[in-house]
Amino acid sequence: MGPAHAVVETEHLGKSFGSGVKEVQAVTDLNLAVEQGEIFGFLGPNGAGKTTTLRMLSTLLRIGSGRAVVAGHDVAKSPRKVRERIGYVSQLGGANPQATGWDNLILQGMLYGDSRKSVIARAGELMAALEIEEFAKRKVITYSGGQKRRLDIAMGIIHRPEVLFLDEPTTGLDPQNRANMWSQIRKLRDGGTTVFLTTHYLEEADALADRISIMDHGSIIADGTPSELKGQIGGDAITIEIAESASGEAVMHTLSSISELHSIAQDGLRIHCYANGGTRILPQVIRTLDEAKVAIESIAVAQPSLDDVFLKFTGHSLRDTKVEKEGGA
């Protein structure tokens, strides 16, 4: 294998919407490099700026500031060259619901100027790979979420792009369809396609992405492989849920007397802290809280997750962020 090189690279990429007091800084000073053949994940809550970034990288939205190079071409200077080399699957997908999956796929292939014969051959290949033959001749409007998503992906890769951008590929899918989608995405990666996806699912980023950038409020707050990111936490995560009557500050103060605990932080009724050998230290934590007469609802020890990483950098949990309907995009 030759040395990996960046297929997507950004320098100080930014975008704001509106002006004056209504200005929204959607993406700020984004620097990233996605290497060839990897699954790169953007993990962040709703409104973090994931879709805005993806739309700039795929030439659908004008770059606000900075620059981006995708598949060897500057996005602002050579948008057409970039478009030929990428696939983009939006969160809603681009299939015409009144046409069949097959017709959608053929039309999409023809848009790239290939002959009908070669498009038909390629569509057949993709239908087998993505397991969509069974329902290909039905109208898309009759598809389940998982079936529609597979068609969206087939449409996104019919022209054999070097890079595939997937915006929230599994939002709204049940666990079984999500697992199926993960294996399809891995197959794409294993076939040589670079995949750049966004997600607000911690487990998805952890299980699927080779490397992750965690985004919040338009900026990257941490990046690395999932294990590198979790390794930054140092020790096990201990989560203490306190009773509503308890004072968070008092609990934090009590916990700070235990020298093995570090990074003690409050997030609503939950206190998060970390310790090496979390299970071993648990009895001491419970005893100490008990002696201080702190009412707790529950206490749990777990291996650190990407949510602990998010919490460490933002002070709040990604799991708790309200998932709203996507606006604008």
Ligand X SMILES: Nc1ncnc2c1ncn2[C@@H]1O[C@H](COP(=O)(O)OP(=O)(O)O)[C@@H](O)[C@H]1O
Q: In the complex, which residues of this chain contact ligand X (CB under 6 A)?
A: 17-18, 24, 26, 44, 46-52, 327-329
| Of 293 and 322, CB closest to ligand X | 322
Element (H, E) at 198: strand 194-199
Q: How far is the CB of 44 from Mg ion (least distance, A)?
A: 9
Kindly indicate which of the ranges 45-53, 136-144, 201-209, 284-292 contains the residues binding Mg ion, using the contact rule CB under 5 A: 45-53
Q: How far is the CB of 23 from ligand X (least distance, A)?
A: 9
Query: What backbone torsions phi and psi does residue 12 show, to the nearest 5 degrees?
Result: 50, 40
Q: How far is the CB of 321 from ligand X (least distance, A)?
A: 10
Q: How many CB atoms lie within 10 A of CB 253?
A: 13
Cβ neighbours for 99, distance < 8 A, ≥ 6 positions apart: 107, 139, 140
Kindly indicate which of the ranges 44-52, 64-72, 81-89, 152-160 contains the residues binding Mg ion, using the contact rule CB under 5 A: 44-52
| Of 52 and 193, CB closest to ligand X | 52
Kindly indicate which of the ranges 8-16, 43-51, 259-267, 310-318 contains the residues binding Mg ion, using the contact rule CB under 5 A: 43-51
Q: How far is the CB of 14 from ligand X (least distance, A)?
A: 12
Q: How far is the CB of 168 from ligand X (least distance, A)?
A: 8
The site that binds Mg ion (CB under 5 A) totals a number of residues, namely 2
The two structure tokens encoding residue 232: 């930054």
Residues 149 and 169: beta-carbon distance below 8 Å: yes
Q: Of all residues in this chain, which one has the CB nearest to ligand X in the complex?
A: 328
Task: Pick the closest to residue 217 from 86, 13, 2, 46 (CA basis).
Answer: 46
| Of 24 and 292, CB closest to ligand X | 24
Q: Does 199 engage in binding with Mg ion (CB under 5 A)? A: no
Cβ neighbours for 301, distance < 8 A, ≥ 6 positions apart: 236, 237, 238, 278, 279, 282
Q: How far is the CB of 273 from Mg ion (least distance, A)?
A: 32
Q: Of all residues in this chain, which one has the CB nearest to Mg ion in the complex?
A: 51
Cβ neighbours for 22, distance < 8 A, ≥ 6 positions apart: none
Dihedral of alpha carbons 14, 17, 21, 25, sign = negative
Q: How far is the CB of 211 from ligand X (least distance, A)?
A: 18
Instruction: Give, in degrees to the nearest 5, the angle at Cα 208 between 204 and 214.
Output: 65
Counting Cα atoms < 13 Å in the Cβ hemisphere of 82 gives: 22
| Of 17 and 182, CB closest to ligand X | 17
Task: Pick the closest to residue 167 from 18, 306, 46 (CA basis).
Answer: 46
Q: How far is the CB of 167 from Mg ion (least distance, A)?
A: 6
| Of 64 and 72, CB closest to Mg ion | 64
| Of 122 and 149, CB closest to ligand X | 149
Residue 49 binds: one of Mg ion, ligand X, none (C-beta under 5 to 8 A by kind)? ligand X
| Of 41 and 49, CB closest to ligand X | 49
Q: Does 51 engage in binding with Mg ion (CB under 5 A)? A: yes
Residues 258 and 284: beta-carbon distance below 8 Å: yes
| Of 121 and 323, CB closest to Mg ion | 323
Residue 328 binds: one of Mg ion, ligand X, none (C-beta under 5 to 8 A by kind)? ligand X
Task: Pick the closest to residue 153 from 180, 121, 113, 115 (CA basis).
Answer: 180
Residues 23 and 16: beta-carbon distance below 8 Å: yes
Residues forming the site for Mg ion (CB under 5 A): 50-51
